[in-house]
Structure 1
Amino acid sequence: MDYCLGEPDGSARIWSVDADTDLDGDGRLDGVGLDVDGDGLLDDVLADLDGDGTAEHAVLDRDDDGVAEAYVTDDGTGTWTVAADRGAPLRWFGLDGAEQPATGAAVDLDGDGAAAERLADLDGDGLADRAFGTGRAWVDTDADGRWDVRLTDSDSDTRADRADYL
């Protein structure tokens, strides 16, 4: 796994290391434990949950229960900018790219007013990466917060018949 951290003087260091921590609890090593915040404890984790080989999640001050003081993700450009508040409502982006606050597990993603779509956060970063509606689903395939694919089940057999790249 590769990760890069900036120094106070403006320089940056890049490391390539083997994962030694299972951050998401699926039994697969996906993160590396280290001391990001300089408190002398190896209680911080940088993790690659999408499996692309580059860390996109940072967890600071993780205690023995796995609860973190802070959790942030990469915004898709390699910059640690997106705070993820565990337990807060999911954030999601509309089809127009504007961020929307989730008021519950169901939202009107497509704006049709007919049926609400259910949101899901599979990678645990606080940002919805799946949305399921009647006969349609949207998928954020690259964890950048924008919907990449719309799946359509036109014959109601619960299997997608069509995939449209957005």
Structure 2
Amino acid sequence: MELTVVQGDITQQQVDAVVNAANRAMRGGGGVDGAIHRAGGPTVLDDCIRRFPDGLATGDAGWTTGGDLAAQWVIHVVGPNYSAGERDRSLLTSCYARALAVADHVGARTIAFPLISAGIFGWPKDDAVDAAVETLRTTRTEVTLTRLVALDRATHDQIAARLER
């Protein structure tokens, strides 16, 4: 699998699936979650409500339509909220591994990830980058292209430096 990093807007990625860093309720929110719901339109939320009436557990993943996004699917993951005391790293790495398993299930071969839990959920960025890269590099999958999408230059450069190691 090819693993790359780009700076940009995850909602604009031309891939089979984009990963949404959602909260447990899966009803939209701020950050990446809000951006994906706004760009994908109401069908993404409608599908979340229909497919996940009770939401998802931390560390788990599930898919919905991509709605108005270029991506066919949105793979929703619930990362741990470090700021609220959820500090089990295995829940963070599970998000990446489970998202790849869901991608395999729906037949997605190209996927774009945000840096999960590193925004409002407060996971330390250095470890969030390490967890993402380590898990994406070691998880068996049929996905051929995985793209980490950084909103800002500093995060892009941090991920790029980690990918070079």
Higher helix share: 2
Higher strand share: 1
TM-score in same-fold range (> 0.5): no
Structure number with greater CO (CA < 8 Å, separation at least 6) is: 2
* TM norm structure 1: 0.28
Answer with 1 or 2: which has the greater Rg. 1
